[in-house]
Structure 1
């Protein structure tokens, strides 16, 4: 059994004269949460559409769950779940009826409905029509639907957009639990803090090219400045000083302050994932 659940080899896609994705290469391991980050028009949605078999690559190839996304498209659909940003649910039907209809499409036993409703904490609201649900509750119904057939790989497009902080936190916990159970998850998000907390690795895509691919921790260490803020007591007042950790002269000054008993607190200044993205991709996520 292969541990690589998503593999892209020189994957590219053009639309007329526009090259939306330019020969990207990456892989995602079993059970990994992989963040795919990029500004609007960078190529992330086109990449996901290729990986889920919705459009064919212009060049290169990809495998998901061991299936070629072009030659084995039909088999692929049985092993992946997809949740896009725009809801496509039946508003007049209850959550249960929506999921029962999806069971019929997937040829899944209806008994599976209660299991996924319990997983997304909606079993007590299952009989209510979708039109009465909040955005967060509808998002959870879509995730439940994507999990009905027990996919090996789950694709999530902006899963936390429009959710209140409590609902977004609960959703992150669900995603983390699915990963712990062995499911591979590729998600796009504009929320850098969410990607930092949730993803094992992240890839930055800009103008159709991958410009970074590593753990959030490594990216922050590689591209952030090694500085610390030192709080001193001087003449009865509190003063903050910035120290560059790689500057011997500034290190010596810090040691002198400590010897004199002036240092009250020291805090390292780690770059945020957004800082790194701006530095590498040249623009902020909107």
Structure 2
């Protein structure tokens, strides 16, 4: 999946929503677009999946220009939208059967997928009775149902509690472990840090930085460890020469140490330092 110099302006927009984006998503990786609301994440996803046209630049998804997408293209991708659309008067099962029937291929077990996301008991409930978080999980199931090779996930943990978020994280990682390529958007640095092999920082339609979360944490963090003690003191020690640092060793032997932490930077802090903006 590759985008080259991609720009886009909505017909009634005063400025460009995207400004010359350049990025590549490797096969079998989870690539995350990290940015606040309005940064251009959903616009990018719309271009990659063919739902937004009229952009400039070059885009190839599985070797196909999304503006020229055919049935084979859509059989090979799964999309989970932040604000998914369903037939509200239909049950979840009826919706999944309807959408699943469009692909003309063998489907995964609907009940098993619904059970994984905690919706097994709601399979025959009308979608109009679903909460926002339930619709998000149903949208994830719909995106996985036809077992696509490419997944596009727009804020996949929106409206979910920590337990359900962890379940969704595990499911996404399992898809990656099966060789799937996953493009996700999020403003949640926990989701980005725990899931993504690489992340791109998007701010005001500009892609300002791409790297792995681990590499970013080291690049922008301090090469120090912070030691907190039970007597209320906090001291920082440089990692270089730590094993021979007499002050550090003395503190360890004192018996008052409560915590020791390395001082890598968090993604939210890095984003703020690079863009001057908060993620939320």
TM class by shorter chain equals: 0.7 to 0.9
Query: Comparing both structures, which one devotes a greater share of its residues to strand?
Result: 1
Alignment partner for residue 141 of structure 1, among 138, 141, 145?
138
Which runs of 5 or more structure 1 residues have no equivalent in the other structure?
1-5
Alignment partner for residue 10 of structure 1, among 5, 17, 37?
5
Distance 2:84 2:250 in 1: 61
Which runs of 5 or more structure 2 residues have no equivalent in the other structure?
none
Q: 1:178 to 1:128 in 2, by over 3 A?
A: same
Give the structure 2 partner of residue 282 of structure 1. 276
Q: Does 1:273 align with 2:264?
A: no
Give the structure 2 partner of residue 258 of structure 1. 249
Give the structure 2 partner of residue 37 of structure 1. 34
Deviation sequence 1:140-191 (CA, Å, 0-9, x none): 2111212232221111111111111111111111111111111111111121
Q: 1:134 to 1:44 in 2, by over 3 A?
A: closer
Structure with max Cα Rg: 1
Between 1:169-178 and 1:118-127, the stretch displaced more is 118-127
RMSD between aligned alpha carbons? 2.7
Equivalent residues of 2:108, 2:145 under 8 A apart: no
Alignment of 1:117-196 (within 5 A): 117=114, 120=117, 122-196=119-193
Q: 1:208 to 1:111 in 2, by over 3 A?
A: closer
Deviation at 1:222, TM superposition (A): 0.6
Deviation sequence 1:196-247 (CA, Å, 0-9, x none): 01111111012222111111000010111222213468xxx4522233557x
Equivalent residues of 2:8, 2:56 under 8 A apart: yes
Relative to the length of structure 2, the TM-score reads 0.86
Relative to the length of structure 1, the TM-score reads 0.84
SS of alignment partner, residue 154 of structure 1: strand
Equivalent residues of 1:204, 1:213 under 8 A apart: yes
